[in-house]
A and B are shown apart, each in its own frame.
Chain A
Amino acid sequence: MSPTEKKTIKYLYKFKFQDGREKKFEVVLDEATLELQRGDPNPKPEWTRLNYSQCENCPLPATVQYCPVAVSLAGLVEAFSDSVSYEAAEVTVETTQRTFFKKTTLQKGLSAIIGIYMSTSNCPVCDKLRPMTRFHLPFANSIETFFRSVSSYLTAQFLLMRRGETPDWELKGLQQIYKEVNTVNKGMTARLHQATEKDANINAVVILHSFGDGITYFIESGLTDIEPMFEVFLQNHDAANPGKP
């Protein structure tokens, strides 16, 4: 690698279907900024224009011609435009450190890869989820994703505190982030209705939307459910701070 060459993080997604078809997608991120490294499709599809079913909360100015997320998704969306969401697939994800494998549904595999595209494409709304992509966990279930999400947000709050700013330990900002991201997810499904013939791509985004919907649940109830796992910290705290709540 030359000294000027950027260091990257790569996720190679391989989909193998029961009829023998195989499709591969490589996601390359700048290691430092976690920005997606991509070549734009040429020509760009009409549905990727910024003003085409533009998200209600889109802060991009009209001078931006194309939606950065839609452009990033174009190749993937085209490849699966005629696929059904529940089609069985063997999905392998190769990274530099390890390989993940799961027999799952196409929508679940697509959801993971679309999630990376959305948070690394320079969408000002989805950017806030970008740190999570460094710790991408393919095929994560809801609880795992919620935990990664809360952990990532709390890390950001700690870093803010270290800079002398006021952290949000109550996670109110996290709920607001997902509310905004879900508006983007909704806008993206509207675009995808124009770009696809079947439901695989759309349902993949719907899965991401449901994570956004569920984050409040996790904060309100899920964290309490996993509290016993942290007993060792809680006991030590009680011993060190007698009489304190």
Chain B
Amino acid sequence: MNERILVVDDEESLRLSLKFKLKSAGFDVDTAIDGEEALGKLKAKPADVVLLDINMPRMSGIEALTIIRQTYPQTEAIMLTGFADFSTAIECLKIGAKDYLVKPVDTTELVTRLRSLVRSRSTERALQEVHQEYLGFLSEELAEPLGKLGTILEQVSKLSGDAEKERKKLLTSASDLVSKLETKLGLVADAAKHAEEAGSSGDEGISPTQLTEKIREIRKGSAR
């Protein structure tokens, strides 16, 4: 699916030319005539990036930016302005804009920046997924069995001297848990090592999404 860009500018010719250029570059593009319309459009359908003019009637680009960052934190913003002003640029970046471009915008440069922004956003999301999956692995695949092991050892310590059969049964369970843990930890360590080696050798290697999938498989027990 193409990344969705929302172009917000009160001037029709600017909306039209940006829409054409960005569509030609492969983005899915929608437009809004001001901040209010932009918020309505975001509510109806989220966008990956908003290109936001600063000087607009009814609601300024800075007001719209503030609301967008609070309401739609997944949507990034790039500010556009006709009049370059250092303090406004700083204000926009502080609120959460990713960039501040002065019109007339070089569309080739804009496309490059959008692609870079979208790429870093998807990498960020993928890394978050790896993180979540890894946390799941730690809490469910390690913490739970370790808790069970602790319980078994406690039970063994409380057994009377003649309960040899029961002790053996409990120790076998503990041994099974340990070997399952070793297997899963080994698989995760292999995946991490593979990712690290691929990264340092400059190969494309394993992507964060693939790493997430690998950890999922390990958790399901389907990984080799």
Interface residues of chain A, those whose CB is within 8 Å of chain B, are 84-86, 88, 105, 107-108, 141-142, 145, 182, 185-186, 189, 193, 196, 198-199, 202-203, 205-207, 209-211, 213-214, 216-217, 221
User: Across the interface, do A189 and B17 meet the contact criterion of CB distance under 8 Å?
Assistant: no
User: Across the interface, do B11 and A107 meet the contact criterion of CB distance under 8 Å?
Assistant: yes
Q: Give chain B nearest CB distance to A203 CB in angstroms.
A: 4
Q: Select which of B18, B21, B83 is within 8 A of A199 by beta carbon.
A: B83
Question: Which residues of chain B (143-182) have a CB below 8 Å from chain A?
Answer: none
Q: Give chain A nearest CB distance to B17 CB in angstroms.
A: 4
Decide if B198 is an interface residue (CB 8 Å cutoff).
no
User: Across the interface, do A142 and B104 meet the contact criterion of CB distance under 8 Å?
Assistant: no
Known: A142-B16, A199-B55. A213 touches B83 (CB 8 A): no
Knowing that A105-B57, A207-B13, A207-B14 touch, tell me 16 more A-B residue pairs with CB under 8 angstroms: A141-B12, A142-B13, A142-B16, A142-B17, A189-B82, A189-B104, A203-B55, A203-B103, A210-B11, A211-B13, A213-B18, A213-B20, A213-B107, A214-B13, A217-B20, A217-B21
CA distance A202 to B81 in the complex (A): 10
Question: Which residues of chain B (107-142) have a CB below 8 Å from chain A?
Answer: 107
Interface residues of chain B, those whose CB is within 8 Å of chain A, are 10-14, 16-18, 20-21, 24, 55-57, 81-84, 103-104, 107
The 3 closest A-B pairs by CB, nearest first: A217-B20, A199-B83, A209-B104
- Would you give 10 A-B contacts (Cβ < 8 Å), ordered by A? A85-B82, A86-B56, A186-B104, A189-B104, A205-B104, A206-B14, A207-B13, A210-B17, A213-B104, A217-B21
Q: Give chain B nearest CB distance to A198 CB in angstroms.
A: 6
Task: Name the residue on B nearest A140 (C-beta).
Answer: B13
User: Across the interface, do B82 and A199 meet the contact criterion of CB distance under 8 Å?
Assistant: yes
User: Across the interface, do A86 and B57 meet the contact criterion of CB distance under 8 Å?
Assistant: yes
User: Across the interface, do B82 and A210 meet the contact criterion of CB distance under 8 Å?
Assistant: no
User: Across the interface, do B10 and A105 meet the contact criterion of CB distance under 8 Å?
Assistant: yes
User: Across the interface, do A185 and B104 meet the contact criterion of CB distance under 8 Å?
Assistant: yes
> Which residue, A145, A213, A217, has most C-beta atoms of chain B within 10 A?
A213
